[in-house]
Structures are given as structure tokens and as C-alpha cells.
């Protein structure tokens, strides 16, 4: 087959479209997930955490619903598998004993991608934090791994400020039980 200029242009266009198409979202990640504290890293000050994950196209909303006694807190991070997202309200699970706090007026930049055959959502965020020496950037790499049977989720967080990862285990909450 002879490749004419028209055919080459069409082929180049199709190849470009293929590279611009976002990686397929994995619908198994969506839903409510409840942390199993006995298997997870300590929450330091919180005794309950749910993750509520919603997807629309390449955009993924990760809502943290935290509780300590009567105190409840809810925050949502949005990532996108096709572009970097900037947020001035980025939420990270606080490890209070580490003395690492969000920097005032800081903006966090996050990227996301599907890996491991779309069974894992990997995010990387560069977030400004305040430490005793001043403001610095902290890199947080997170993996949201769907387990066998699609009923468990493991969240692994690697912080550039820590030597050990934080690991949280979740079980899917059935819709009837969540209401």
C-alpha cells in the first residue's frame, strides 16, 4: 500500500487522537470505602475514615470523611488523568505528631494516571507545608489499589517527609448499609 500525503496525515491524526484519549476510568474504584483501623496505619486523632470516590470522564473526586468522637470533617481532592490540577484546598491526612502543617496560601499541584491494567489509580501531589525550618514542598505519591474480588481497596501513601509509607485498608460499603 502506497502512503500518500493524505493517508499519512490521516494516520498521524489517528495516532495523535490515540495519545490524547484519557486512560479508561475503572468504575470499580467508585463508591464508598470504609477504613479498617485494625489493619491500617494509625490515624492519630481520628477514629474513622471513609473514602467516597466518584468519577466523571478523566476527573476523579476523592472525598475524605473523617470522624473523631462527635467531630466530623469532610474534604475533597480532585485529580484528572489527562492534566495537572491545582488546588488551594488540598487535603492530606494529618499526622499531627509529625509537626508538618499546610502552608498558608499554598497551592498543591497533582497529576494522576491509571496503572497495573487500570486496577490502580496513582496520584502524585506537590504540596507546600510548614515545618519548623520554614515552608517546604512535600511530595505525596498515593496508590489506590482495588483488591481481588473488588471489595477491598488499599491506599498506600509515600510522603517525601517520611521514611515509611502510610497504608490504609478499606472495605466497600454496600449502598443499603451506607444510608
Report the CATH number that the domain containing residue 64 is assigned in CATH. Answer: 2.40.128.20
> Is 94 domain-assigned?
yes
Overall number of domains in the chain:
1
Residue pair 41/167 in contact by the 8 Å Cβ criterion: yes
Q: What is the pTM of this model?
A: 0.82
> Is 3 domain-assigned?
no
> Is 117 domain-assigned?
yes
> Is 140 domain-assigned?
yes
Q: In terms of Cα–Cα distance, which of 166, 131, 169 is closest to 147? A: 169
> Is 11 domain-assigned?
no
Which pLDDT belongs to residue 161? 83
pLDDT tens for each residue of 124-151: 999 999 988 899 999 999 999 999 889 9
> Is 34 domain-assigned?
yes
Distance CA 95, CA 3 (A): 60
- Quote the Cα angle for 23-65-121, to 5°: 20
pLDDT tens for each residue of 59-99: 999 999 999 899 999 999 999 999 999 999 999 887 656 67
Amino acid at each position: 500500500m502506497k502512503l500518500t500525503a493524505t493517508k499519512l496525515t490521516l494516520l498521524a491524526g489517528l495516532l495523535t487522537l490515540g495519545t490524547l484519549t484519557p486512560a479508561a476510568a475503572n468504575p470499580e474504584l467508585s463508591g464508598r470505602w470504609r477504613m479498617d483501623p485494625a489493619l491500617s496505619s494509625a490515624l492519630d486523632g481520628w477514629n474513622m475514615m471513609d473514602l467516597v470516590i466518584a468519577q466523571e470522564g478523566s476527573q476523579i473526586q476523592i472525598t475524605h470523611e473523617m470522624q473523631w468522637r462527635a467531630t466530623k470533617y469532610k474534604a475533597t481532592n480532585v485529580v484528572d488523568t489527562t492534566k495537572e490540577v491545582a488546588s488551594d484546598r488540598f487535603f492530606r491526612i494529618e499526622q499531627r505528631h509529625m509537626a508538618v502543617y499546610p502552608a498558608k496560601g499554598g497551592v498543591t499541584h497533582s497529576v494522576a494516571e491509571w496503572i497495573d491494567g487500570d486496577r490502580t489509580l496513582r496520584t502524585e501531589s506537590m504540596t507546600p507545608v510548614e515545618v519548623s525550618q520554614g515552608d517546604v514542598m512535600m511530595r505525596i505519591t498515593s496508590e489506590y489499589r482495588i483488591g481481588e474480588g473488588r471489595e477491598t481497596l488499599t491506599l498506600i501513601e509515600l510522603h517525601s517527609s517520611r521514611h515509611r509509607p502510610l497504608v490504609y485498608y478499606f472495605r466497600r460499603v454496600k449502598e443499603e448499609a451506607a444510608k
